[in-house]
Amino acid sequence: MRIGIDFGTTRTVVASADGGRYPVAAFEGAEGFHSWVPTMAALDEGRWVYGERAAELLQRGGPGVRSIKRALGALAPEQPVPGFDVTALELATGFLAELREALVERSNLELAAGEPLEAMIAVPANSSSRQRFLTLEAARRAGFEVVGMINEPSAAAVEFAFRSALSPRSPKRYVVVYDLGGGTFDTSAVSLDGRRFDLLASEGIARLGGDDVDSILLDAWEAERGEPVGEALRIAALEVCRRAKEGLTAQSRRLLLDPPAELGLEPCVLDVGAVYDACDALVEPTLALLDDVFAALPADLDPEDARQLGAVYLVGGGVAFPAVQRALRKRHGRKVMLAPESHAATAVGLAVAADPDAGVLVREATTRYFGVWREGEGGRETVFDPILRKDQMGAEGSPLVIQRAYHPAHSVGHLRFVECTRLDAEGRPSGDLAPFGELRFPYDPALRERGDLAAVPVQRRPDLGDQIIVERYSYTADGRIEVQIENRTHAYRRELVLR
């Protein structure tokens, strides 16, 4: 069976491809069926449990990880999760293995015994390459057969086109997706051409979402109490805030925080207007990035022309928060369209993209900068060279390949690789940075057998200027960057796979 998995910050949603229909999977739990699995992990007598069982333990004040996806966002695969003796990859694999078991044993999907689960998986558009690799590797280890990965806003655009029944003759040529989840924000402009979807531009914030609204509610609750709830009860109190937030409607004037009796916390009533005012500082940066994405649309497109611009399409669990919709409608009026199932739009789009009979082609662009710090001035300075620029797009079905050729000026090249969300005015890495390791390459042929190049001083060598060095970078869909550096003059090279 082909499925789409939206590995969310708060909830994970799965949709399947079933003969031209794309139903959302429902999971049997203690209180009936739910169309999601909580993306949570908790320790139960020293053993990790996931999903609904983890949510129950966390609500009672047990130790664990309230948002697996957010916890993994800044970690390398083998890096331990802060405060716990488990790596990021182990935690993600454990959750996805539990998800697979739930799909087979406790969902409404009609799966034959031993039937493989072929999954299309999404990641935030602005996620780092190592986060993409970690997600894919965890899914493979959990037993899914991964057929592809696309960015969450691109999947939502596919769902928009499918739900709107856009035909190849439709005048609608673009959709701008506003995707606010539990822990991440993305906004993207996607072109619509029949069943072809091209990501034109993307902006995002790696750590902003519904979890931050929960924290604002908890701050207000603690201010009313006159004291903090205490670290041991913090996760449970945040869950109280989340449930109360999800009960808000546009007509709500009061917000009741009603904790379970076993927590020993008094209920609290908050003024909704004051809550919305406190959350404005979270929403404003998303509106600024949405404006940047609009600027990437073709210059001759009139944003007010609904015939060409399909919608500002709101998806993700966070867009149900009334303050978000209020701010967007104030800025963009009738162009704003809330997805009918905002929490499931990405999963449905993934299932459509996974279905070979749907004939969908999604072509992604890079959503981050990647480059290398090089030696300069005989090792006394470093110079940043951007290799992959944001919003670059490769040929259909092929990795994006960049090649550099130059004459060396030093004895050894000390290359330090980094990925970032933006460059500053001087062209240096800025924003959210992710180091990718380093490589030393012997430009001097006499050093190519040395195993301790780190001990070799970098020196200016004008006599090496007749050599030709070629660097080749290949950026693959699963988040790997394959690096090959070759001395063409003396026929030796080194290779490195960055994750």
Q: Are residues 296 and 217 in the same domain?
A: no
DSSP state of 63: S
For position 307, what pLDDT does the model report? 61
Q: Is the pLDDT of residue 439 over 80?
A: yes
Map residue 403 onto helix, strand or coil.
strand
Q: In the structure, what pLDDT confidence band is assigned to residue 304 with cuts at 50, 70 and 90?
A: low
| 27 vs 303: which has the higher pLDDT | 27
Q: Are residues 96 and 180 in the same domain?
A: yes
66: closest CA among 49, 54, 78?
54
For position 119, what pLDDT does the model report? 96
Q: Are residues 44 and 152 in the same domain?
A: yes
Q: Are residues 398 and 437 in the same domain?
A: yes
Map residue 123 onto helix, strand or coil.
strand
For position 484, what pLDDT does the model report? 94
Q: Are residues 138 and 30 in the same domain?
A: yes
Q: How far apart are CA 198 and CA 193, in angstroms?
A: 8
Q: Is the pLDDT of residue 477 over 80?
A: no
Mean local confidence (pLDDT), 438-459: 91
For position 30, what pLDDT does the model report? 77
For position 168, what pLDDT does the model report? 59
The torsion defined by the Cα of 108, 113, 117 and 118, in degrees rounded to 10, comes to -120
CB-neighbour burial class of residue 470 (10 A; exposed 0-12, middle 13-18, buried 19+): middle
For position 380, what pLDDT does the model report? 61
Neighbour tally for 291: CB within 10 Å? 13
Q: Are residues 198 and 345 in the same domain?
A: yes
Q: How far is the CA of 215 from the CAs of 72, 101, 230, 276, in angstroms?
A: 19, 32, 14, 13
51: closest CA among 85, 91, 22?
91
> Are 340 and 153 in contact, with CB atoms under 8 Å apart?
no
Q: Are residues 270 and 398 in the same domain?
A: no
**Count of structural domains, the chain:** 3
Q: Is the pLDDT of residue 377 over 80?
A: no
DSSP state of 306: T
Lowest mean pLDDT: which of 80-89, 241-250, 358-367?
358-367
At CA 435, angle to CA 125 and CA 408, rounded to 5? 115
- Boundary-marking domain end, from 332, 363, 394: 363
| Residue range 7-28, pLDDT digits in tens | 998 899 999 999 999 999 999 9
Mean local confidence (pLDDT), 62-91: 89
Q: Are residues 390 and 328 in the same domain?
A: no
Q: Are residues 309 and 161 in the same domain?
A: yes
Q: Is the pLDDT of residue 252 over 90?
A: yes
Q: Is the pLDDT of residue 390 over 80?
A: yes
For 16-42, b where at least 16 C-beta lie within 10 A, e where not — what string? bbeeeebbbbbbebeeeebbbbbbbbb
The torsion defined by the Cα of 132, 146, 182 and 239, in degrees rounded to 10, comes to -120
- Looking up residue 464, the CATH number of its domain turns out to be 2.60.34
The token duo for 186 is 């993305």
The torsion defined by the Cα of 483, 137, 370 and 76, in degrees rounded to 10, comes to -110
Mean local confidence (pLDDT), 161-173: 72
> Are 55 and 240 in contact, with CB atoms under 8 Å apart?
no
- Boundary-marking domain end, from 227, 259, 278: 278
For position 419, what pLDDT does the model report? 87
Q: Is the pLDDT of residue 206 over 90?
A: no
At CA 439, angle to CA 433 and CA 443, rounded to 5? 135
The token duo for 27 is 């999971």
Place of tokens 């902003």: 208
Q: Are residues 196 and 219 in the same domain?
A: no
Q: How many residues appear in the chain? A: 499
CB-neighbour burial class of residue 495 (10 A; exposed 0-12, middle 13-18, buried 19+): exposed
> Are 410 and 380 in contact, with CB atoms under 8 Å apart?
no
Amino acid (one-letter) located at 78: E
Q: Are residues 244 and 303 in the same domain?
A: no
Q: How far apart are CA 158 and CA 295, in angstroms?
A: 22
The token duo for 284 is 């404003």
Q: In the structure, what pLDDT confidence band is assigned to residue 95 with cuts at 50, 70 and 90?
A: very high
Please state, rounded to an integer, the average pLDDT across all residues of the chain.
89
Structural domain of residue 298, as residue ranges? 2-208+279-363
For position 73, what pLDDT does the model report? 77
The token duo for 109 is 């999907």
- Boundary-marking domain end, from 363, 378, 393: 363
| Cβ-based neighbours of 38, under 8 Å, separated by 6 or more | 10, 11, 12, 51, 52, 54, 55
- Looking up residue 20, the CATH number of its domain turns out to be 3.30.420.40
Q: In the structure, what pLDDT confidence band is assigned to residue 428 with cuts at 50, 70 and 90?
A: confident
Query: Any alpha helices (H) in 164-271, and if so which ranges?
Result: 210-225, 234-246
Q: Which residues pair with 419 in a beta bridge?
A: 370, 434
Q: Are residues 312 and 217 in the same domain?
A: no
The order of strands in the sheet holding 2-6 is 37-38, 11-16, 2-6, 118-123, 145-151
The token duo for 172 is 């609608």
| Residue range 33-68, pLDDT digits in tens | 999 999 999 999 999 999 999 999 998 888 999 889
> Are 439 and 493 in contact, with CB atoms under 8 Å apart?
no
Share of the chain above pLDDT 70, in %: 94
Q: In the structure, what pLDDT confidence band is assigned to residue 169 with cuts at 50, 70 and 90?
A: low
Mean local confidence (pLDDT), 427-435: 80
